[in-house]
Structures are given as C-alpha cells and as structure tokens.
Amino acid sequence: MLIRKPEGWEIPEREATPESVYMNRRQILQAAGLLATPSLFGQAKPLYPAAKNDEFNVPAAALTPEWAASGYNNYYEFDPYGKETVKNLVGDFNISPWQIQVSGLVKEPKTYDLDDLLKKLPIQERVYRFRCVERWAMVVPWSGFPLASLIKLVEPKSTAKYVRFVTVSRPKEMPGMKQAPYPWPYFEGLRMDEAMNPLTMMVTGLYGKPVPKQNGAPVRLIVPWKYGYKSPKSIAKIEFMSNEPPIFWNRLQAAEYGFYSNVEPKKPHPRWSQAYEQMIPTMERRPTLQYNGYEKFVAGMYNGKEF
Ligand code: MTE
C-alpha cells in the first residue's frame, strides 16, 4: 500500500505550488483518505494517525504485527477459499467515492457520503482484541468513529430495535463472488443496544493509516466482543428495523452460527472447541475470554443466554 507521510506538507506546498497543481494533489490525497476536515484557517488536518483512546483497553497479548493483520484475511467476496491470497485480489476494488444508504425506521432515509460523514464524526484510534470463530485472534489498533455517533446523527425512530448492515456487491471487482454460490452481498445485524454500545465502532483506519482494502476499506464494523463475522466489511447500506434481521452465516449454516455470536469459551462450535484461541502469526495458544475480554463493557446487555 502506498502511504504518504502527511505531516507538515500543507503550508509549504500551498505557498510553493500553483493552485491547480496543489488542488490536484489534494484531490488525490483526499481520495486516499489522508485528509480530514479543513480546520479554522482552511488547512486540512490529516485524518491519520487519529488521537488514541485508551478507555476500552483490556489486558491483551502484544500487538499483532501489521503485515500479519493485513495479510491473513477472511473476505469471501475476494476469495472464499483463501486468506493469504486476499491482499493480492483487491487491486480492482474501487473505494472512492463511497456512499452509505441509510433506510428503514429512521427520521429521514438518506444516502450519506463517507467523506462528509468523516467531517462530522471525529475518528479515534483504539486497540482491540479481535477473535474469529475459527479460533485465530489478533490485537490491532483500529481507527474510526463509534457507530453510536452515526446512529444519533441519522435519528432512528423509537420503533427501531435492530440495525441491519449490507455490504457492497461488485462482482466485476470482487472475484470471489463468482466462485461460491453464497447469498451475496454479505449481510449482518445487531440489536439496537449492541449497536449503541460505545465499543461498537465503524472503522476506517488500521495501524494509523487508512484501512487496507483486504481489511474492509473504506468502512467496516468492529464489534470486539463477538466473533469476527459479526464485523462486516465495505458497508454500503444500514437499515433500521423492528425485527431481528437475518445474517449471512446463519443463512448458510443455521446450526453453526447464531445471531448473537458473542465470544463464549464454554460454548463449543459444533465442530471444534472454543476454549482456546491462537494468536496470529505465531499460533500461540491462549485461553478464550468470555465476551472476548470485554465483559465489563457488555455483560449488562445480556441475560447470559445470547451466544
Ligand atoms: N465482511 C465481508 N463483507 N465479507 C467477509 O467475508 N468476513 C468476516 C468479517 N467481515 C467477511 C466480512 C469474517 S469471517 C471475519 S473473521 C472478519 O471479517 C475478518 O476481518 P479481518 O480480515 O480484518 O481480520
């Protein structure tokens, strides 16, 4: 991934470069997600790295190396059969401009431009544990905004009890969609209190840079107390509903993947134990933690049966 160090270029460049050239470069950087809201004096503040928020830190293994977190991915639209291959298959995926359609039980159904949202909803960096149902686990710094801040902005009606997410469908840009007969596009859902929980985050960055395409660019969800498949990538639609929405993996294999999918070491997957996890890339084994270690933030939402 081509990354430009953003520090300190704005003022000298504006002074030294003809406006047309300057604007062109600004547009390129904007498209790459490296610029944020113009500040008081018209200078753009870089979006990344975002201010760190340590409020939700929990005891965790050491940070996963960046190359490992962005090189071992589940992203079935690109490759339903491989993980290390995904990063090599995302080249044609177009992520800018990006829009999110908000619909259903909401004050005003509307399509939002991601760049505009990022001007209104400041991003922050949080280190989260991340646990896949397949047992592999990572510890990574995500950047993004709380989903709750977006929900407040769009004003759902009081009858909205669930939120449904639908990811983008681009068979021409996503080669895996033709390889497996799945009910594309990927869809997921949360109960409204889960969606409003401060831990639930709309992610646009990873390791202090825009999130790589293989990790869900330009915007994905992270729900760190649930198995990773509850965190859809490349979100295109958000719908507010009164009933529990169906989810992709439950539609495919209802006996193996439930709506809640909260991390629970004592509840094995029908085909394997969930008592331990394995850290990427060393595969070191560690005990699985209930709610993936986020019990103090989330246990109050449940009666202990939602797994
Ligand atoms: N989102 C989409 N659109 N497509 C997918 O295949 N896989 C899910 C989730 N989100 C997936 C998705 C699964 S199974 C996991 S474990 C995580 O993404 C993996 O996220 P990562 O590759 O950033 O580690």
Quote the CA–CA distance of 86 and 13 in Å, as a whole number. Answer: 36
Distance (Å) from CA 77 to ligand 1 centroid: 10
- Structural domains present in the chain: 47-126+139-249 (3.90.420.10)
| pLDDT value, residue 306 | 82
Mutate to test the pocket of ligand 1, among 229, 249, 277, 278 (most ligand atoms within 8 A of CB): 229
Tokens of 176: 């895996």
CA dist 51 to 47, 54, 80, 124, 126, Å? 9, 10, 35, 5, 9
Q: Which residues pair with 241 in a beta bridge?
A: 162
Residue type, 195: A
| pLDDT value, residue 42 | 58
Does residue 261 have its Cβ closer than 6 Å to ligand 1? Answer: no
Q: At which residue do the structure tokens 């394997």 appear?
A: 272
Tokens of 148: 């709750």
- The residues, ordered by sequence, that sit 6+ positions from 141 with a Cβ below 8 Å of its Cβ are 63, 125, 126, 127, 206, 207, 208
CA dist 283 to 68, 126, 278, Å? 12, 23, 5
**pLDDT above 50 (res 71):** yes
Please check whether residue 278 is in contact with residue 137, taking contact to mean a CB–CB distance below 8 angstroms: yes
Distance (Å) from CA 306 to ligand 1 centroid: 21
Query: Diameter of the chain by CA atoms?
Result: 64
Q: At which residue do the structure tokens 């491989």 appear?
A: 82
Average pLDDT of span 239-253: 97
- The residues, ordered by sequence, that sit 6+ positions from 264 with a Cβ below 8 Å of its Cβ are 274, 288, 290, 291, 307
What share of the chain has pLDDT > 70, as a percent? 86
Residue 108 vs residue 40, higher pLDDT = 108
**pLDDT above 50 (res 57):** yes
Residue 40 vs residue 145, higher pLDDT = 145
Distance (Å) from CA 78 to ligand 1 centroid: 11
Q: Please name the residue whose Cα sits nearest to atom 16 of ligand 1.
A: 228
**pLDDT above 60 (res 269):** yes
Does residue 70 have its Cβ closer than 6 Å to ligand 1? Answer: no
Residue type, 84: E
**pLDDT above 90 (res 148):** yes
pLDDT in tens, 157-203: 999 999 999 999 999 999 999 999 999 999 999 999 999 999 999 99
| pLDDT value, residue 305 | 78
Residue type, 240: F
Does residue 186 have its Cβ closer than 6 Å to ligand 1? Answer: yes
Distance (Å) from CA 229 to ligand 1 centroid: 5
Q: Residue 159 burial (CB < 10 Å; 0-12/13-18/19+)?
A: exposed
Quote the CA–CA distance of 272 and 133 in Å, as a whole number. Answer: 10
Does residue 6 have its Cβ closer than 6 Å to ligand 1? Answer: no
Q: Tell which residue, 190, 212, 221, 195, has the closest CA to residue 128.
A: 221
Mean pLDDT of the chain: 90
- In the three-class reduction of DSSP (H, G, I as helix; E, B as strand; rest coil), residue 237 is classed as strand
Average pLDDT of span 123-151: 98
Please check whether residue 68 is in contact with residue 138, taking contact to mean a CB–CB distance below 8 angstroms: yes
Distance (Å) from CA 155 to ligand 1 centroid: 28
Does residue 228 have its Cβ closer than 6 Å to ligand 1? Answer: yes
- Give the confidence band of 15 by pLDDT, cuts at 50, 70, 90: very low
Quote the CA–CA distance of 244 and 291 in Å, as a whole number. Answer: 21
**pLDDT above 60 (res 281):** yes
Residue 13 vs residue 285, higher pLDDT = 285
